[in-house]
Amino acid sequence: EALAAQKAAGVPRRLVGFEMTDRGIARHGYAARTAAGPGLVTSGTHSPTLGKPIGLAMLPVDDTAVGTEFDAEIRGRAAKARVAPTPFYKRNKEVA
């Protein structure tokens, strides 16, 4: 019943990739704030391949477009982040 109700109403949140635009790394469990409402960081780390902090977050559906900015709360301060396309990195496959 719960799944049928959710299918009829639509999902309230969506998992998106993000990159930090301010200093800091948003980690699992940190709060995220968007114009449409609260969200939650599910994972975050510094990517040595990309050279910047990245992560995944559950955000309200209205604020999940690539390029949308939001705040991630890092140790009590708001740090800016931007929704990024996933996968973050795609390796070139060379045919031998």
- Taking only the tens place, the pLDDT of each residue in 19-56 is 999 999 999 999 999 999 999 999 999 999 999 999 99
Model pLDDT, residue 94: 76
Model pLDDT, residue 95: 67
Answer whether 0.95 is exceeded by the pTM. Answer: no
Cis peptide before 12 (omega within 30 of 0): no
Tell me the pLDDT band of 92, cut-offs 50, 70 and 90. confident
